[in-house]
A and B are shown apart, each in its own frame.
Chain A
Amino acid sequence: MNATLDNTIQIAEPPKNYEVLPKESSAGGTDLLEVAMGPHHPSTHGVFRMDVVLDGERVVKLKPVFGYLHRNHEKIAENTTYLGSMPYTDRLDYFCSLTNNWAYALAVEKLAGLQVPERAEYIRVITAELTRLQNHASLVGFLMQDMGALGTPLMYAFREREKILDLFESLTGARMMCNYMRFGGCRVDLPEGWLEQANKVVAEFPRFVDEFENLISGNEILMARTQGVGVLPKELAINASITGPMLRASGVNYDIRKVDKYGIYDRFKFRVPLGDHGDVYDRYMLRVLEMRESVKILEQALPAIPVGPIVDPKAKIRGFRPKVGEAYGRIEAPKGELGFYLISDGTPNPYRYRVRPPSLINLTILEDMCLGRVIADVVIILGSVDIVLGEVDR
Chain B
Amino acid sequence: MLGEGILKGMAETARNFIGSYVKEDRLTTVQYPEERLPQKEAARNFPFLVFDGNDPHAGMRCVACQICEKECPPQCIYITKSKDRKPDYIGKPQFYPSVFDIDISVCMSCQICVEVCPFEAIKMDTDYELSTDNRFGGLLLDKNKLAKSADYYRKIHPTEAAEVDGKLNAEKVKAEAKAKADAEAKAKAAAAPKPAAAPASPPAPPAPAPAAAAI
Chain A residues within CB distance 8 Å of chain B: 80-81, 83-88, 90-91, 152, 156, 159, 162, 166, 169-174, 177, 179, 187-188, 191-192, 211, 214-223, 317-318
Which B residues are in CB contact (< 8 Å) with A220? 2-6
B105 to chain A, nearest CB (A): 15
Closest CB of chain A to B56's CB: distance in Å? 25
Which of B6, B110, B124 interacts with A177 by CB under 8 Å?
B110
Binding-face segment, B40-48, B79-87, B131-139, B190-198: B40-48
Interchain CB contact under 8 A, A87 and B16: no
Residue of B nearest to A182 (CB): B115
User: Nearest chain B CB to A215's CB is how many angstroms away?
Assistant: 4
In the bound assembly, the distance between CA atoms of A91 and B111 in angstroms comes to 15
Give complex CA distance A188, B115 in Å: 11
Question: Which A residues lie within 8 Å of B177 (CB)?
Answer: none
Chain B hits for A83, CB < 8 A: 71, 112
Q: Which residues of B line the A interface, CB within 8 A?
A: 2-6, 8-9, 11-13, 16, 28, 40-44, 67, 71, 73, 108-112, 115-116, 124, 159
Contact B42 A171 (CB under 8 A): yes
Inter-chain CA distance A317–B111, complex, in Å, is 12
Point out the residues of chain A lying under 8 angstroms from B108, CB to CB.
87, 91, 177
For residue B118, which residue of chain A has the nearest CB?
Answer: A318
By a CB distance below 8 angstroms, the chain B residues around A166 are: 40
Dominant secondary structure at the A interface? helix
Q: Quick one: which of A152, A221, A318 contacts B116, CB cutoff 8 A? A: A318
- From B40, B67, B110, A169 is in contact (CB under 8 Å) with B40
Contact A173 B42 (CB under 8 A): yes
B6 touches A173 (CB 8 A): no
Per CB-CB distance, the 8 closest pairs between chain A and chain B, nearest first, are A218-B5, A87-B110, A173-B44, A84-B73, A173-B42, A219-B5, A215-B12, A215-B9
Name the B residues within 8 Å of A191 (CB-CB): 41-42, 159
CB distance from A103 to the nearest CB of B (A): 17
Identify which of A162, A179, A211 gathers the most chain B CB atoms within 10 Å of its CB.
A179
- Considering the complex, give the chain B residue whose CB is closest to the CB of A158: B28
- How many A-B pairs fall under 8 Å by CB? 84
Contacts of B110 in A (CB 8 A): 86-87, 90, 177, 179
Enumerate chain A residues within 8 angstroms of B43, measured Cβ to Cβ.
169, 173-174
A85 to B74, CA, bound (A): 10
Q: Are A80 and B12 in contact (CB under 8 A)?
A: no
A318 in complex: contacting residue of B3, B67, B73, CB < 8 Å: B67
- Which of B8, B42, B67, B109 sits near A218, CB closer than 8 Å? B8
Greatest chain A CB density within 10 A among B6, B13, B42, B115 is at: B42
Question: What is the CB-to-nearest-CB distance from A145 to chain B, in angstroms, rounded to a whole number?
Answer: 15
Given contacts A87-B112, A191-B159, A221-B6, contact A214 B73 (CB under 8 A): no
Contact partner, B8, options A84, A172, A214, Cβ 8 Å: A214
The residues of B that contact A318 with a CB separation of less than 8 Å are 67, 71, 116
Given contacts A214-B11, A215-B12, A317-B116, could you give 15 more A-B pairs where the C-beta distance is less than 8 Å? A85-B73, A87-B112, A88-B73, A166-B40, A169-B43, A170-B42, A171-B42, A177-B110, A179-B110, A187-B115, A188-B42, A215-B8, A219-B6, A222-B5, A318-B67
Closest to A170 in B: B40
Which residues from chain A contact B11 at a C-beta distance below 8 Å? 214
Min distance, Cβ A191 to any Cβ of chain B, angstroms: 6
Instruction: Give Cα distance in the complex from A187 to B3, angstroms.
Output: 51
Q: Is the CB of B44 within 8 A of A214?
A: no
**Chain B residues with CB below 8 A from A214, complex form:** 8-9, 11-12
B185: min CB distance to chain A, Å: 34
Given A177-B108, A218-B8, A81-B71 contact (CB < 8 Å): yes
- Residues in B with CB closer than 8 Å to A86 are 110, 112
Residue of A nearest to B1 (CB): A220
> Which of chain B's residues has its CB closest to A188's CB?
B42
Which residues of B are found within 8 Å of A188, using beta-carbon distances?
A: 42
14 A-B residue pairings within 8 Å (CB atoms): A87-B108, A87-B112, A91-B108, A152-B13, A162-B28, A171-B42, A174-B44, A179-B111, A179-B112, A211-B12, A217-B5, A218-B4, A220-B2, A220-B4
Chain A proximity of B47: nearest CB distance (Å)? 12
- Asked if A215 contacts B73 (CB within 8 A), the reply is no
In Å, the complex CA distance between A166 and B43 comes to 10
- Nearest residue (CB) in A for B108 is A87
> Once the chains are docked, how many angstroms separate the CA of A1 from the CA of B149?
59
Bound: A152/B17 CA distance, A: 11
Of B42, B109, B115, B159, the residue contacting A317 (CB under 8 A) is B115
A81 to B116, CA, bound (A): 13
Minimal beta-carbon separation of B125 from chain A (angstroms): 11
Determine the distance from Cα of A107 to Cα of B159 in the docked complex, in whole angstroms. 33
A152, A173, A211 — which one has the most chain B CB atoms within 10 A of its CB?
Answer: A173
Residue of B nearest to A207 (CB): B25
Q: In chain B, what residue has the closest Cβ to A318? A: B116
Residues in chain B near residue A171, CB distance under 8 A: 42
